Amino acid sequence: MIKKSCDEGSFLSRFLPEQRIYVKTGEDQTRYFKISSKAQAFLGACAFALVGWTVISSSALVLGMVSADTEAQQAEVVKQAYEERIAVLSAQRDQRAQEAASIQERFQIALREISNHQSRFFELETDREELATLVELTREKLQYAIDTRDTAEQEAEILLGELNKVTSNLTDKSGNAKELAGTLRAITTALSQTIRERDANTDRLEDMQEQVAALEFRERINADKQERIFTQLETAVTATLDPLEKLLSTTGMDIDYLVDKMQEQYSGEGGPFIPASLPINPDNDPLYDRYAQLTRDFDRAHLMQIAAFQLPFASPVKQSVRWTSGFGKRRDPINGRAKAHNGQDLAGPRGTPILATGDGTVIFAGRQSGYGNVVKIRHSFGYETVYAHLNSIRVETGERVSRSDVIGGMGNTGRSTGTHLHYEIRIGGKPTNPVPYMKAARNVF
């Protein structure tokens, strides 16, 4: 049983009057507990705080679960989009690699075709010279036959004239009939022989004219073949020169200067002196001038290809990699401060083969502060390439390397946050963006 007691003198008692709780302890005994207004206020405040804390905690838990689910979904969506983008970039890179391999194969095929056509051209040129010599000899024989025929005709006319004289004087010289008969027989025999020689020379003349016509026909056919071969060679050389000139133009250097330098380095000639029996181009033949120009263009293309192999026109990694930090200013991945980045970072599996991007000499192979295990290669024309954070080094200082030689494996040494390659190109000691050089060679090599 609860009984209310009001204290009219207290403000709190008007809202929370004193409460008494009666408890019956026996048949005739009753006890009670008194709850003051302050105690009720305290208990109410505690109950209100407990309910509020319960509501706030439940709301926070529900909101946290909803937020966690949303963030997880967003992270999953971002992860999926990132993986799809990586797959697309990998497919594009593989496609570019296949295109580069195809272009390299076509380039090699074109070089072989040029070599085959050049050999064929030399054979045709030899045949043409032999035909020209044969035609000249045939013409000389023909002229000799014509001269012989004309001489025989003149001799026949002379003999006919003498025969007429003998015939006209036959009546006057009847006394010498025996002598005249002998003379007549000699003249008749000589005339018959001259006529037979004339007929034989006429037949030989016709045969030689047919031979000359056949030789001239063969010469025209060979000329047509030479024209087709020249056209094919010129097309092949042009198809080789244009991509190489476009590639070398990315360096900003004078292409003629590069070609002259290569010619100075690769200019060895020699052999025993054998005097030529004829001038190089005695008749100022335009075909020879055309061939000489073609030879110069082919030599220029070859020298440009040598120059391209000595410069870092290639990617240092052939396997699938992720292009991470690029050339220029960036936020440092370790201390977060702005800093210049002098190369291109390529991330991939540990131990991925690292390739030399051009012919050159190893000027450093070892450990260096910040770079970790590093290889530096000096190329021609003041170019230098740097390969840092390597897991392993497979070359030594002073060693000569060629383009695509394996120089080490990708690693995480030095100042690095993960397995990757830091690749630099320096010109005269000054860093430059390596990406244009890596991309420029895709359509050539």
**Which has more pLDDT, 273 or 316?**
316
Report the residue count for the chain.
Answer: 445
Q: What angle do CA 207, 211, 216 make, to 5 degrees?
A: 150
Cβ burial of 74 (10 Å; 0-12, 13-18, 19+) is exposed
Give the chain's mean pLDDT.
76
pLDDT range class, residue 23, cuts 50, 70, 90? low
Amino acid 6: pLDDT: 41
Q: What angle do CA 384, 386, 387 make, to 5 degrees?
A: 150
DSSP string of 192-213, one letter each residue: HHHHHHHHHHHHHHHHHHHHHH
pLDDT range class, residue 337, cuts 50, 70, 90? low
Residue-range domains of the chain with CATH: 2-80 (no CATH), 99-265+284-310 (1.10.287), 316-443 (2.70.70.10)
How far apart CA 356 and CA 385 sit, in angstroms, is: 8
How far apart CA 253 and CA 255 sit, in angstroms, is: 6
Q: Are 208 and 142 contacting, i.e. CB atoms less than 8 angstroms apart?
A: yes
Tell me: pLDDT of 406 over 80: yes
For strand 420-427 and strand 344-347, is the pairing parallel, antiparallel, or unpaired? Answer: antiparallel
Across residues 193-222, what is the average pLDDT? 73
State if pTM tops 0.75: no
Amino acid 400: pLDDT: 95
Amino acid 184: pLDDT: 66
Tell me: pLDDT of 413 over 80: yes
In this structure, what DSSP letter does residue 175 have?
G
How far apart CA 391 and CA 350 sit, in angstroms, is: 7
Amino acid 375: pLDDT: 97
Least reliable range by pLDDT among 10-14, 96-100, 236-240, 437-441: 10-14
**Which has more pLDDT, 268 or 358?**
358
Question: What's the pLDDT tens digit per position in 66-81?
Answer: 555 666 777 777 778 7
Neighbours of 295 (CB within 10 A): 13
pLDDT range class, residue 255, cuts 50, 70, 90? confident
Across residues 410-436, what is the average pLDDT? 92
E strand residue ranges, 196-316: none
Across residues 208-227, what is the average pLDDT? 73
pLDDT range class, residue 327, cuts 50, 70, 90? confident
**Which has more pLDDT, 176 or 241?**
241
